[in-house]
Amino acid sequence: MLFLGLTGSIATGKSTVSSLLSRAPYSLPVIDADLIARQVVEPGTSGYNAIVRHFLPTTPDLLLPDATPKGRPLNRPALGRRVFGAGEERERDRKILNGIVHPAVRREMYKQMVYAYLRGHWAVVLDVPLLFESGWERYCGTVLVVGVSDAKIQIQRLRARDAHLTEEDARNRVMSQGDVREKAERCLKRGPDRGVVVWNDGDRAKLEKDVEKVMQRVRRGSPKWWSLLLWVCPPLAGVVGVISWWRMRRVQIEWEEERKRERAKL
């Protein structure tokens, strides 16, 4: 089974592509890290309890007033203002929040990956906004980045989607996920068909056509007979997975070393 990593940045159209891949003619299972991240901090979960213990004493509006049977939900805009943006304090709080959420998300993603394999799917989409930053790229046979050519497009789309955000809030959220153009460059370093980029500067019709072209390439690289062989022979699937992980880990290390050398020259 192919792990197809889907990433980009906030308001680049990644969710639209994810929705396209989940429907015919692709009909692929999508493991949505953002959705899982919401589920693992719902009232009553261990993630929710950890966030409340750490942030509530200094964030009075952390919880919404309307309670559910399991407790008051998190006020996400308030939590976002606490952790997004520049500054040592926000960076520290962001790391603490990630340290609570990310392990729980990984556990749930592993479960869903195994379930998709057992059901015989030829591929599963790993929809992870911070795919490279979190290290998930090494698990992916192919990575698809959805990008835009200018961050102003992201800010404009984000404010149209989330009307409560000021321009500064939107800019902070865009900047917190890194430059999507750098992600595109990193994706292409993986090599032909192991890394593909869709530029979403146009309308939805163009995006759908570009996705169709990309998926035709991806499917040719993972034909039906190969997918079936990996499904009926789990040991082979395990060996192939380890080899792919090792190769992509090497690409990851090479990229990080190249970036260190570039920063050292500055």
Which CATH number fits the domain that encloses residue 248?
A: 3.40.50.300
Task: For the chain, count helices (H), then strands (E).
Answer: 11, 5
First to last CA, the chain: 42
Per-residue pLDDT at 31: 97
227-230: which pairs have CB atoms within 8 A and are 24 or more residues apart? 227/1, 227/2, 227/122, 227/123, 230/1
In order of 36, 51, 79, 88, 159, the CA distances from 260 in angstroms are 33, 34, 32, 22, 34
86: helix, strand or coil: coil
Task: Decide if pLDDT at 73 tops 80.
Answer: yes
Please determine, for residue 266, whether its predicted confidence score (pLDDT) is greater than 70: no
Do the strands 2-7 and 142-147 form a parallel or antiparallel pair, or are they unpaired? parallel
The 10s digit of each residue's pLDDT in 190-227 is 998 899 999 999 889 999 999 999 999 999 988 889 98
Average pLDDT of the segment spanning 66-72: 84
Amino acid occupying residue 36: I
For residue 260, pLDDT over 80 is answered with yes
**pLDDT digits 0-9 by tens, 173-190:** 888 777 889 999 999 999
Amino acid at 56: L
Q: Is 135 helix (H, G, I), strand (E, B) or coil?
A: coil
Confidence label for 146 from pLDDT (cuts 50, 70 and 90): very high
pLDDT of residue 188: 93
Report the distance separating Cα 68 and Cα 39, nearest Å.
Answer: 14
Which strands form 142-147's sheet, in the order they lie side by side? 30-32, 123-127, 2-7, 142-147, 195-199
Q: Is the model's pLDDT at 86 over the cut of 80?
A: no
What is the number of structural domains in the chain? 1
So what's the pLDDT on residue 118? 92
Looking at residue 232, its amino acid is V
Number of Cβ within 10 Å of residue 230's Cβ equals 21
Residue 127 has pLDDT above 90, yes or no: yes
The whole-number pLDDT of residue 249 equals 92
Q: What average pLDDT does this structure show over 103-132?
A: 93
pLDDT tens-digit profile of 36-50?
Answer: 999 999 998 999 999
Q: Which domain holds residue 22?
A: 2-265
Contact 20, 211 (CB under 8 A): yes
Q: How high is the mean pLDDT of the chain?
A: 90
